[in-house]
C-alpha cells in the first residue's frame, strides 16, 4: 500500500514538474477545452431565452385577405372553402366590414369612425391562420396565389416570429459551428505543442543518459 502511494505521489510530482515547465500551453489547452464544452450550453441558453420572449399567438403566421367590394356571397364562400381545405391552413374566419368598423372605432381616438356605418369604406376580409408546421416556402406560395386572385383586393401577411427568427437562428448555428471549429483547431495546436515539448524533454533525457 505504501509502495502504491509512493509511486503515485512521485508520478504526480513528475506530472506537475512537466506541467509547470509548460504552464502557458497547459492553461491555453484548459481554456480552449472549457470554451468548446461551454458553446452548446451558451447557444441553448440563447435559444431558450428567445423562446420565452415569443408570445403564443405569434407562433403562427396570419394573413388578412381583403375581398373585392362587389364580391357576391357564393364566390366568397368558394374562396373560403378553398383556403379551409389547404393543409397549411389552421383556421379561416370571415370578418365582415361592419365588424371591422366596430373593432376599429373601439380603438382610442377612432370613435368618430363609427358614424361611417351607413357608408362603410372598409372591405370584407378573411383572416387566414396558418398551421405551426407550415413552412415559409408554403406560406409564401399561398400568399402569392392570393395576391394574383381576382377575388382579392389586397392582402396583409404577418409571418410568425419563428419565420422571422429563422435567419437569426441560422446565423447562430453557423456562428456556433465556426467557433467550435476554431476552438477544435486551437485544442489540436495546444495538444501538438504539449506533445512536441514532451518529445524535446525525452530527447534531452536520452542525451543526458547517454553522456
Q: Any idea where the domains of the chain sit in the sequence? A: 23-54+165-191, 59-160
Given a cut of 80, whether residue 108 has pLDDT beyond it is no
- pLDDT band, very low/low/confident/very high, at 65 (cuts 50, 70, 90): very high
CATH dotted code for 59-160 = 3.30.70.3040
Q: Are 26 and 194 a contacting pair, CB within 8 Å?
A: yes
Task: Choose between 124 and 16: higher pLDDT.
Answer: 124
pTM above 0.85? no
Given a cut of 90, whether residue 43 has pLDDT beyond it is no
Cell representation of residue 149: 386572385
- pLDDT band, very low/low/confident/very high, at 102 (cuts 50, 70, 90): low
With b for 16 or more beta-carbon neighbours within 10 A and e for fewer, the 104-119 pattern comes to eeeeeeeeebeeeeee
Q: How far apart are CA 69 and CA 122, in angstroms?
A: 9
Q: What is the mean pLDDT of the segment spanning 15-41?
A: 66
Q: How far apart are CA 5 and CA 11, in angstroms?
A: 10
Given a cut of 90, whether residue 14 has pLDDT beyond it is no
Chain mean pLDDT for the chain = 72
Given a cut of 80, whether residue 147 has pLDDT beyond it is yes
Q: What is the mean pLDDT of the segment spanning 44-67?
A: 69
Amino acid at each position: 500500500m505504501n509502495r502504491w502511494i509512493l509511486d503515485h505521489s512521485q508520478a504526480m510530482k513528475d506530472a506537475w514538474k512537466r506541467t509547470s515547465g509548460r504552464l502557458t500551453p497547459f492553461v491555453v489547452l484548459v481554456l480552449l477545452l472549457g470554451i468548446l464544452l461551454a458553446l452548446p450550453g451558451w447557444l441553448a441558453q440563447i435559444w431558450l431565452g428567445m423562446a420565452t420572449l415569443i408570445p403564443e399567438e405569434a407562433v403562427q403566421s396570419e394573413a388578412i385577405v381583403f375581398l373585392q367590394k362587389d364580391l357576391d356571397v357564393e364566390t366568397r364562400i368558394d374562396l373560403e372553402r378553398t383556403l379551409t381545405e389547404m393543409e397549411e391552413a389552421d383556421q379561416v374566419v370571415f370578418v365582415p366590414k361592419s365588424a371591422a368598423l366596430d373593432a376599429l372605432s373601439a380603438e382610442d381616438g377612432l370613435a368618430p369612425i363609427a358614424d361611417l356605418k351607413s357608408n362603410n369604406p372598409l372591405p370584407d376580409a378573411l383572416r387566414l391562420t396558418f398551421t405551426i408546421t407550415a413552412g415559409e416556402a408554403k406560406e409564401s406560395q399561398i400568399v402569392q396565389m392570393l395576391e394574383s386572385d381576382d377575388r382579392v383586393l389586397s392582402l396583409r401577411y404577418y409571418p410568425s416570429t419563428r419565420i422571422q427568427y429563422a435567419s437569426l437562428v441560422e446565423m447562430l448555428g453557423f456562428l456556433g459551428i465556426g467557433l467550435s471549429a476554431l476552438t477544435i483547431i486551437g485544442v489540436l495546436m495546444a495538444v501538438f505543442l504539449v506533445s512536441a515539448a514532451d518529445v524535446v524533454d525525452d530527447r534531452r533525457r536520452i542525451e543526458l543518459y547517454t553522456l
